[in-house]
């Protein structure tokens, strides 16, 4: 491990806005010695313990270096923002900025998104942002952050009527998510296959750009957006009408690099 990463990891431990639970904090063996999630002490206490101010909580899942979380928090101080990622060296940048600029409505959580419902109580979260998530073109459908498996996790803590925002350059992921919405009868609040070509003022949707977003725009690639709710009775079902081979082919060469590089 390089000295730069070691320095960042050491400094991360000093940031009060960054929560870094160990695996032992969220996993426990049950009677059959299978690992199950346990509730973290911060669950249900984010506003009281971390922010010390009662405001709606918004998550960004897979936040990378936290640029988008930071920008949203500065544009909308009436919300408390939490950026979530597993890479501590990435989170260092956002946590350091939030600390040095004394931002009262920003926090970061270092954990796997698969563990996310261990950290939030029912109704504790108002909105979720999925910004340029890996579309898992060749991977498991369950690994897509808008899959029925992840929606089931989100509804454990997303309030009734809570919004999920999907912002992506991947038409594959956009169309997959539309299929999930249709299959489960979910409500779409807003949809665009080219938010910057719409000619509309979309507020924070176009007013804040991620690292990749800026790069894709310079390449002339359209950015898509979906806003939807996940209120639903019974289990979420997987879509049967998503033409995966077609949309994978439409993706073309644009994803020959990894989103994990930033």
| Residue 169 and residue 132 in contact, taking contact as beta carbons nearer than 8 Å | yes
Helix H or strand E segment including 175? helix 171-183
Question: Residue 60 in contact with residue 68, Cβ under 8 Å?
Answer: yes
Q: What does DSSP assign to residue 48?
A: I
Tell me the C-alpha distance between 152 and 236, whole Å: 7
Q: pLDDT tens per residue, the chain (262 residues)? A: 676 888 999 999 999 999 999 988 889 877 667 788 999 999 999 999 999 999 999 999 999 999 999 999 999 999 999 999 999 999 999 999 999 999 999 999 999 999 999 999 999 999 999 999 999 998 899 999 999 999 999 999 999 999 999 999 999 999 999 999 999 999 999 999 999 998 888 899 999 888 889 988 998 889 999 999 999 999 999 999 999 999 999 987 655 444 444 4
Return the residue matching tokens 């998530």: 133
- Residue-by-residue DSSP string for 84-136: EES-HHHHHHHHHHHHHTT-TTEEEEES-GGGGGGS--TT-EEEEEEES----
* CB 173 within 8 Å of CB 250: no
Q: Which residues are catalytic?
A: 134
Tokens in use for 90? 């990435």
Which domains occur in the chain, in start order?
Answer: 57-253 (3.40.50.150)
Sole residue written with tokens 């690099």: 257
């Amino acid at each position: 491990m390089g000295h730069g990463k070691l320095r960042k990891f050491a400094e991360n431990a000093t940031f009060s806005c960054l929560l870094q639970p160990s695996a032992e904090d969220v996993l426990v063996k049950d009677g059959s010695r299978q690992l199950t999630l346990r509730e973290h002490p911060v669950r249900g206490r984010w506003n009281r313990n971390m922010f010390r101010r009662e405001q709606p909580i918004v998550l960004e899942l897979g936040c990378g270096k936290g640029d988008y979380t930071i920008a949203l928090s500065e544009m909308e101080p009436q919300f408390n923002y939490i950026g979530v990622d597993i890479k501590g060296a990435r989170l260092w940048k956002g946590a350091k900025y939030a600390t040095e600029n004394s931002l009262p409505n920003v926090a970061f959580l270092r954990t796997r998104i698969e563990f996310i419902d261990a950290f939030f109580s029912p109704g504790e979260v108002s909105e979720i942002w999925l910004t340029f998530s890996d579309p898992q073109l060749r991977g498991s459908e369950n690994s897509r952050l808008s899959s029925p498996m992840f929606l089931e996790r989100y509804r454990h803590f997303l309030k009734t009527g809570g919004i999920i925002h999907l912002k992506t350059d991947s038409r594959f992921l956009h169309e997959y998510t539309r299929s999930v919405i249709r299959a489960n009868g979910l409500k779409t609040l807003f949809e665009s296959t080219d938010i910057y070509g719409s000619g509309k003022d979309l507020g924070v949707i176009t007013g804040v750009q991620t690292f990749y977003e800026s790069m894709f725009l310079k390449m002339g690639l359209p950015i898509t957006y979906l806003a939807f709710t996940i209120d639903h009775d019974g289990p979420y079902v997987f879509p049967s009408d998503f033409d995966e081979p077609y949309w994978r082919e439409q993706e073309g060469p644009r994803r020959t690099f990894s989103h994990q590089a930033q």
